[in-house]
Amino acid sequence: MISIQIIDKNKEGYQVIPQPIRNSGKIYFNNQDYEKAVLRVFKLNGQQLYEETSQVDYFKLHISNYPQGLYLFSIQTKNQTIKGKFIKVP
């Protein structure tokens, strides 16, 4: 069986799959030139929880140890900053 998944990075320039996230997921974003990108994950109060660097067009999230709730993130490259959110469920 072949499975195809369509990644629609919508007008915000990203897509979180799955949404909401239980233990792990991916954030896809526009990075056609494969520039260095930095992902930062924050609590709603602004406390930074995580930072990772990549040169592809997605980040893998491993958040099984995060409490349930809403989280904010930013992805920064040389040419853009993308801001978004995801929900963590038990």
CA angle, residues 29, 34, 40, in degrees to nearest 5:
50
Higher-confidence residue: 10 or 36? 36
Q: What tens digit of pLDDT does each residue of 2-31 get?
A: 655 555 566 788 999 999 999 999 999 999
Q: How do beta strands 69-76 and 81-88 pair?
A: antiparallel
pTM, to two decimals: 0.87
